[in-house]
Amino acid sequence: MPDPREDREANLLVRRIAAFGSPGTDAGESLVVEERCWPAFHRILTSQQLEGLAVAAATAGSLVLTDDQQASLLDATRDAMLWCLEIEKNLVGLTAAFAHARIDFLVLKGPAVAHTLYPDPSWRPFRDLDLLVRTRDWKRASETLISLGYRRFRPEPRPGFDERFGKAAVHLNDQGLNIDLHRTLVLGPFGLWMDPEMMFASAERFELAGRSFYRCSRTTMLLNACMHAALGSSPPLLLPLRDVVQASNAPGLDWNEVEEHIDRWKLPAVMQLAVESAEEELGVTLPQQVVALGGRRSSRRERRALAAYLSDRRTRGGTARATLLAIPGVRAKVRYLSYMLVPTREFLATGGNQRPSYFRRWSVLLRWFVSRVKRHSRHTAESLR
């Protein structure tokens, strides 16, 4: 059973590791992990994927470890790096099939971030591969992966959902390697408001294993880092926050272009959350330009959309409801609603441990509707008083 006091202490140390070597920060005093805290430190560090940064800190003398601690950290890092290399080998293996099918793709996060934004790729481990393809290519890209031995983890709710409203689908191979095939960056309203085509238009190249791959431009890398940090999980994870720090400090960022994209993709509230969380959680100071962009006014609609990702409503249909509000046109809204409420039985059957049930899905909407009616009645009663 984890001791909450040790967890708290370990958490503070892990946050310092997450900030190690951040541009514009001092090395500060060397960190020492007391033996009683080591299990909690190791557990939190590895769950937050910060082994590489811890090794870098230890190599620089900023983290002082006993021999046993060092051996344990190196073991964990070796495992993480072996997996990264396995993923990169698989990425290289995909290129011929995608080129043959004439499908362009961008490498999002993972190898693209590790090899572009960090001083050394070992600082930035990753567990899966995220590829972005154009919506028109999405289905063929999925078929290409399946022809290479991958299988789709979960079917789409109804035929046609992926290309109209979906974000991505996980494809797994026999080694357990997971490729998240995207057509937009995030699920929900922010994924619908952004324009993936702009990411293709501004894509840049990076080299890996003697081959050239496309990744996002530095501008869209920063936006993607902020979206992932702010919307990926609540509270934000430390590695995505560190990505925000690295992306904010990338040389040659065109701040006017960043601002333009933020407005166009309705991201002021997302930027604000990502920037404030990075500064607060990691104790770093971000460049003044990104702080200023994080302080811009956001609309009520954007703030409501963001709230759907943050509260416990997220797991109770909150993102789906926010998506519904962001979908333009009544017919498209009705179609989305029908996809969500009456998915195929095959989709329902992959929904976890619970018995497949349409009623359970409908009850989410029913509870939401009842709560709205109750709130409305309360407001009406108060205004009549």
Partner 1 sequence: MIGIDLTDRELPEPVPPMTEPSATFHRGREVLSRMVGDDVIVAIPGRDDFDFLTGPAAAIWDMLDRPCSTADIVDRLASIYAAEPDVIAAGLADLIGELVSHGAVEATDAGPA
Tell me which residues touch partner 1 (CB under 8 A).
55, 58-59, 70, 74, 77-78, 81-82, 84-86, 88-89, 92-93, 120-122, 208-211
Tokens 């929900």 correspond to 188
Tell the residue number behind the tokens 């619970």, with chain if given. 354
Q: Which is nearer to partner 1, 59 or 353 (CB)?
A: 59
Q: Which is nearer to partner 1, 83 or 193 (CB)?
A: 83
Least separation, in Å, of the C-beta of 80 and partner 1?
Answer: 9
Q: Shortest Cβ distance from residue 305 to partner 1 (Å)?
A: 38
Instruction: For the CB of residue 249, give the shortest distance to partner 1 in the complex, in Å.
Output: 22
Please choose, from the candidates 53, 4, 82, the residue with its C-alpha nearest in 3D space to the C-alpha of residue 241. Answer: 53
Q: Whose Cβ is closer to partner 1: residue 40's or residue 58's?
A: 58
Q: Which is nearer to partner 1, 77 or 298 (CB)?
A: 77
Alpha helices in 62-157 (DSSP H): 67-100, 110-116, 135-147
**Shortest distance, CB of residue 16 to partner 1, whole angstroms?**
19
Closer CB to partner 1, residue 77 or residue 272? 77
Q: Distance (Å, rounded) from C-alpha 78 to C-alpha 90?
A: 18
Q: Is 177 left (phi over 0), alpha (psi -120 to 50) or beta?
A: beta
Helices (H), 194-299: 196-201, 218-232, 238-248, 255-264, 268-282, 288-294
Q: Is 132 left (phi over 0), alpha (psi -120 to 50) or beta?
A: beta
Q: How far is the CB of 204 from partner 1 (least distance, A)?
A: 20
- Output 56 or 290, the one with its CB closest to partner 1: 56
Task: Evaluate the CA torsion angle 144, 145, 149, 152 in order and state its sign.
Answer: negative
Task: Report whether 256 contacts 331 (CB < 8 A).
Answer: no
CB of 210 to partner 1, least distance (A): 4
Q: How far apart, in whole angstroms, are the C-alpha atoms of residue 36 and residue 46?
A: 17
The per-residue DSSP string of 35-69 comes to: GGGHHHHHHHHHHTT-HHHHHHHHHTTSEE--HHH
Residue with smaller CB distance to partner 1, 211 or 374: 211
CB 208 to partner 1: min, Å: 7
